[in-house]
Amino acid sequence: MIDIKLIRENKELVKENIRKKFQDEKLPLVDEIYDMDIKYRNSKLKGDNLRSEKNNISTKIGNLIRKNKQEEVAEIKKEIEKINEEIAQLEKEEEELAKTIKEKMMQIPQIIDESVPVGKDDTENVEVEKYGEPYAPKYEIPYHADILNNINGLDKESASRTSGNGFYYLLGDAARLHSALLCYARDFMINKGFTYAIPPFMIRSDVVSGVMSFKEMGDMMYKIEGEDLYLIGTSEHSMIGKFKDQIIKEEELPIAMTSYSPCFRKEVGAHGIEERGIYRVHQFEKQEMIVLCKEEDHLDWYNKMWSYTVEFFRSLNIPVRTLECCSGDLADLKVKSCDVEAWSPRQQKYFEVGSCSTLGDAQARRLAIRSKGESGTKYVYTLNNTVLATPRGLIALLENNYNEDGSISIPEALRPYMGGKEIIK
């Protein structure tokens, strides 16, 4: 949610930002908010003036009572009663206007960074850099579900009976390798100085609407029937929510945390849930990182955070690249975002394994997260980034460490978490 001062002082800037995101249907909202804000402020000013007038009149009553001027006292009381009615009406009007303005403001996208390329959708994202040499071996690399089946590591059939399509059982060494990845990702981030956390896996609706847009909420979140609770789609949701309504001492910033959680997503509007594989599923696990910092530090943190994900995957012998997300591919709360994609030697192309975003003060405004220092109270800036989302990370690991004889080499970084094992046959 942007600062309403931007609409008051520079409507055209806000409109141009909406155009860059190809959301022209939202352009009328800017003028609607501008007009309603004028009404709100006029109503508030009128109410303040009436309260001042009421206070001035009320001071006269004591003097009149002492002088036994009961008729004049009665007249003044009638006048005060009339003022009270006007104030009550104005307060009701203010409340309704404030509510409507907030609802409309939450639909206005965050002002994107000047460096973000303008484009309609993810097909216009821009490759920034490759890390590691993408390769395709002379031998065939099977589909990841077949690799897992060959080591008795995947059972989709049983999962379809217990839970339906989009779920899976991982078994044996495959399950252990999956857990090893998560443990390594946890320790990798702890060694970078991040505080480890395991957050709640369900959050209330006011936290959901604080961390994401309404469209994302409808497409992603599973609602718990009969309760004001949602299953999280990523631990960023509950980690940022941890600081809701808090004022943080400025000297405590930055706050850098890494969190583990299972994640649950409906995947509405996605390209379908795979029947055989586990690339797009309803349930997965993730190691996330979040940062709360000062405005002047957020881009430095942004660059550090995505570079950690690149470093993590390269330590597993997985070539990756970074993609700058274009304006039309940015969620409404994001200022700037990039994807980290892993190389698939089977498909001979890259696929997404992580995403890093700075959201400016958008989440902080919605959740009232502020910092207090010598220069006063300010909204903090929030960032999030995927360290590892798996089974996607597992797929990248399997393909890039698959051998011609069907075995899977275990990268050195993971061996301590696999009991010293070097290969899965």
Alpha-carbon distance of 152 to 175, in angstroms, equals 10
Residues 6 or more apart whose CB falls under 8 angstroms from that of 182 comprise: 260, 285, 287, 388, 390
pLDDT of residue 339: 97
pLDDT at 396: 97
Residues in CB range of 293: below 8 A, 6 or more apart: 253, 254, 255, 301, 380, 381, 383
Q: Rounded to an integer, what distance in angstroms lies between the CA atom of residue 109 and that of residue 240? A: 19
- State the pairing for strand pair 195-197/255-264: parallel
- CA 52 to mean position of chain CA atoms: 44
Angle at which helix 172-190 crosses helix 298-314, to 10 degrees, equals 140
How big is the CA angle at 307 (ends 113 and 277), to the nearest 5 degrees? 100
Closest by CA to 313, choosing from 284, 346, 339, is: 339
* The pLDDT of residue 53: 84
CA distance 327 to 331: 9
Cross-strand pairs, 395 = none
* C-alpha radius of gyration, the chain, whole number: 28
User: Whole-angstrom distance between the N-terminal and C-terminal Cα of the chain?
Assistant: 52
Longest distance between any two alpha carbons in the chain, whole Å: 108
Of the candidates 376, 361, 364, the one whose C-alpha atom is nearest the C-alpha of residue 111 is 361
**CA–CA gap between residue 84 and residue 47 (Å, rounded):** 10
Residues 6+ apart with CB under 8 A from 62: none
Q: Can you read off the two tokens belonging to residue 39?
A: 């009404």
Contacts of 140 (CB under 8 A, 6+ apart): none
- List the domains of the chain with CATH numbers: 4-105 (1.10.287.40), 122-424 (3.30.930.10)
Q: Provide the β-strand partners of residue 409.
A: 423
Distance CA 204, CA 198 (A): 17
Q: Which pLDDT score, from 0 to 100, does residue 78 have? A: 83
**Per-residue pLDDT at 216:** 72
**C-beta neighbour count of 77 within 10 angstroms:** 13
Per the CB < 8 A criterion, the answer to whether 284 and 390 are in contact is: yes
For residue 390, give both structure tokens: 């798996």
Encode the chain (425 residues) as per-residue pLDDT tens digits. Answer: 899 999 999 999 999 999 999 999 999 999 999 999 999 999 999 999 998 888 887 777 666 666 677 777 777 788 888 888 899 999 999 999 999 999 999 999 999 999 999 999 999 999 999 999 999 899 999 999 999 999 999 999 999 999 998 899 999 999 999 999 999 999 999 999 999 999 999 999 999 999 987 677 777 889 999 999 999 999 999 999 999 999 999 999 999 999 999 999 987 555 555 667 899 899 999 999 999 999 999 999 999 999 999 999 999 999 999 999 999 999 999 999 999 999 999 999 999 999 999 999 999 999 999 999 998 999 999 999 999 999 999 999 999 999 999 999 999 999 999 999 999 99
Cα dist from 60 to 51, 54, 71, 79, 152, whole Å: 15, 10, 13, 12, 89
Tokens representing residue 125 in the block = 């994202």
Among 161, 140, 141, 375, smallest CA distance to 253 is for 375
Q: Which ranges in 144-292 belong to alpha helices (H)? A: 144-150, 156-162, 172-190, 205-211, 214-220, 235-241
Burial (0-12, 13-18, 19+ Cβ within 10 Å), 272: exposed
Cα dihedral sign, 389-325-328-126: negative
The CA distance from 148 to 399, in Å, is 11
Can you point out the beta strands (E) in 265-405?
283-293, 320-324, 336-344, 349-358, 370-373, 376-379, 381-390
Please provide the size of the chain in residues.
425
